[in-house]
Amino acid sequence: MEELNIRISGRAGRITLTRPKALNALSHQMALDLKAALDMWRDDPAVSLVIIDAEGDRAFCAGGDIAAVYQAGLKGDHQVGRDFFRDEYLMNATIADYPKPIVAFMQGFVMGGGVGIGGHAGHRIVGDTTRIAMPESNIGLIPDVGGTWLLSRAPGRIGEYLALTAGRMGPGDAIHAGFADSYLPEAEWPALIAELEQHGDATRIQGVTPPDSPLAARDLAAFGERHAPDIMAALQAAGDEEALKPMRRNSPLSMAAGLALVRAARGDRRMQESLSREYRYTYRATEQTDFLEGVRAQIIDKDRNPNWQADASPLAVDALLSPLGDDELTWEEI
């Protein structure tokens, strides 16, 4: 079965993720095909805008399909992961820089790789079921797919909070944090899609008042501390058990590296800079980090009991985020 339904309808290029039973998890081939479709429509006068949506009501895209990356990494083949992440990031950057409007309709779970698709679109629509997160610290990875760019631009210390806790955002939080633009009840999405197809005019998107943002009212001052252990100590002193609980479970290395990446991204002028820095970690992930153990515990065996072993010291983080030389992710491709 095809994993994407790519077609032109009216004046719109349409890309629909068609793996609802797999929560529309993004495979390597999907990333390649999605980018190819956008490249094909870039200069096509028949396409005025692009609409990206997904089948099923449970998820727009719950993340990357990393089973092949995991299996290859166990066998000592680290190139499968490197190729997947590189091609995924090239697709993310294509969406972010696309010269025509891209409208993403994001229902249900929008996590990790799903944020890499919908989160960089020019018009990001959420509804009542939307739950957006960057949960990579839970599996020994870091917020990638341009996630550190988005997190770095969230108000206050929300970026650090989301990176370290893997917290989920409903529609109000997603708009407040800069991961979405418009709230519209999902029952109204088909009519809007039909209108966009007919007119090819993204200015017709009119959201309604979103729900409140609980995140906007939270005291996240502790997440301004320098290192993850300092943040946890401040949270302990403040009695913020809600934030501490997931951080005690997450990979110490992932939290340390994620914190460094979000803060570094605040100085970036283009998302591509953030992607290149993320790639330094993911390039090394199956060989030098806790990623394989995190995937085993959370996705393969599902015992939810990872045995984190990787060094989380500042020196280790610096080494993992150091340039890759000839393998550095560069941007001549787009």
Assigned domain for 255 exists: yes
Which neighbouring-strand residues pair with 53?
16
Q: How far apart are CA 143 and CA 150, in angstroms?
A: 10
Assigned domain for 331 exists: no
pTM: 0.96
pLDDT in tens, the chain (334 residues): 589 999 999 999 999 999 999 999 999 999 999 999 999 999 999 999 999 999 999 999 999 999 999 999 999 999 999 999 999 999 999 999 999 999 999 999 999 999 999 999 999 999 999 999 999 999 999 999 999 999 999 999 999 999 999 999 999 999 999 999 999 999 999 999 999 999 999 999 998 999 999 999 999 999 999 999 999 999 999 999 999 999 999 999 999 999 999 999 999 999 999 999 999 999 999 999 999 999 999 999 999 999 999 999 999 999 999 999 999 999 864 4
Residue 60 CB-half CA count within 13 A: 31
Assigned domain for 330 exists: no
Assigned domain for 211 exists: yes
Q: Domain limits at 205? A: 4-324
Phi, psi torsion values for 108, nearest 5 degrees: 60, -145
Between the two ends of the chain, the Cα-to-Cα distance in Å is 29
Assigned domain for 63 exists: yes
Secondary structure letter of residue 218 according to DSSP:
S
* Three-state DSSP class for residue 284: helix
CATH number of the domain within which 172 lies: 3.90.226.10
- What string of H, E and C letters represents the secondary structure of 128-154? CCCEEECCHHHCCCCCCCCHHHHHHCC
Q: How many separate domains does the chain show?
A: 1
Secondary structure letter of residue 21 according to DSSP:
G
Assigned domain for 152 exists: yes
Which residues make Cβ contacts (< 8 Å) with residue 57, sequence separation at least 6? 107, 108, 129
Assigned domain for 128 exists: yes
Helices marked H in the chain:
28-41, 67-74, 79-96, 113-118, 147-152, 158-165, 171-177, 189-199, 228-238, 241-249, 252-265, 271-288, 291-295, 314-320
Assigned domain for 332 exists: no
